[in-house]
Amino acid sequence: MNEQAVRQMKACFQPGKQIHIVGIGGVSMRALACVLHDRGIRITGSDISATVFTEELVAQGITVYIGHKAENVGKADCVIRTAAAHDDNPEIIYAREHGIPVFERAEAWGVLMRDYKNAICVAGTHGKTTTTGMITHIFMEAKRDPTVMIGGYMPLLHAAHRVGKGGDIIAESCEYYNSFLNFCPTVAIINNIEAEHLDFFKDLDEIKATFRKFAEMVPADGFLIANGDDETVMDTLKGLPYRTFGLGESNDIHPVNVSPDWKHCTVICDGKKYCDITIPNYGKFNLMNAIGACAVSWCMGIDGETVSKGIAGYQSVGRRQQLKGHCNGADVYDDYAHHPSEVKALIEGMRTMGYKRIVTAYQPFTFSRAATLFDKFVDALSTADVTVMCEIHPARETNTYGISSKDIAAKIPGCVYFDTVPEVAEYLRSIARPGDAILTTGGGPIVKAGEAICEPEE
């Protein structure tokens, strides 16, 4: 984003101005609307349908239009749009015809970050939301009153965002469409780098290149924190100054005395004990996220006792190893895991909880991901005791790949395929038994299958 555009946007971010937000009901867009509204800016917005989230915005005094129409823009000083709002959107067309500047969501967040002393950006292919959530808990425990933008509902915040008065902003930072290159990190953490979003990126090398650009944005007096156990991350950041975290003892921040279930450990920073932590979730990947959160907190000068308390009080973000209820004596969980590495790590984590069977119902999220990561999906889903496949959720795509979940199911021994979510639910109910962990996983409506089979609480 050039400096002229930055100046133009900052001029719009003043009390008394009016900003229209296209797609205001989205997670990041809601947070943006609330931050701007809190600054005394008049906010209007539109979305395709009314939800509890748009109703919450209305309750705060924000005007929300249902449906996209040119007249919704009104006399806005600028328009900010979600990535899903394309150039043929009537509100975008109107704005451009009338000389009203149109900005992207990520551009707006990047400009807002310039007003904070510390902009903590959490990046990586996996673990962004959980790590952001843990950092938020720690900063809240430290009474730092942060502003937060996260990709999921946080019980602590009763939302997926927070408008704070302190000098810190904590932001989940996604590489898709190079969004995070619009941000202004003073502290950046990179959890991992893997092939993902191959409908946008050409290959892993292109992904590494964009992460490299992101890392280079951290100022000399800031902190770049990197997963030292991830060879791709280390290769990407060659020559840059950074601090490492990870499970290996060669990292600047690492755990010792790790319990067999990965829930307890002592955290060492630069050779000295920093804190003892206990995390609520199971799995090595969750401990890695916690070590990353500790690394950020240590760099930011937060004491170890506060970190211990913050992580001990951490409540998972929605759809992260979330216990939904019970069915025929089985425990029903839901998780957003939609990349094969995430699915595999989730199943491995559940194994440590002592269940007799891990039953995984998976719905691929987008045709491109199912096609480009096909073999990895087969490998990951084969680690469950029982695998159930639901047809692909298209999201933003059309099936130009000619692929179906049935193709993945055919490669997994004993796997059962269904076309719809209700069919999956019916099957899960029929096979559920005591000692099972039933997991619904994926980015689409597969969550409804687990919710449908949960028995009412007595």
Which residues participate in catalysis according to the annotation? Answer: 128-129, 172
Reported residue count of the chain is 458
206 exposure class (CB count in 10 Å sphere: 0-12, 13-18, 19+): middle
Residue 152: name the closest of 135, 180, 128 by CA: 128
Per DSSP, helices labelled H in 165-272 are: 204-216, 231-236
The structure tokens listed for 6 are: 């930055």
Per DSSP, helices labelled H in 20-68 are: 27-38, 52-59
Residue 439: name the closest of 377, 380, 388, 369 by CA: 388
The structure tokens listed for 206 are: 């292109």
Write the DSSP assignment of 112-163 as a string of letters: HHTTSSEEEEEESSS-HHHHHHHHHHHHHHTT---EEEEEEEETTTTEEEE-
| Radius of gyration in angstroms for the set of CA atoms belonging to the chain, rounded to a whole number | 22
User: Would you tell me how many other CB atoms lie within 10 Å of the CB of residue 180?
Assistant: 26
Half-sphere exposure of 113 (CA within 13 A, CB side): 28
Compute the distance between CA of residue 343 and CA of residue 360 in angstroms, rounded to an integer: 9
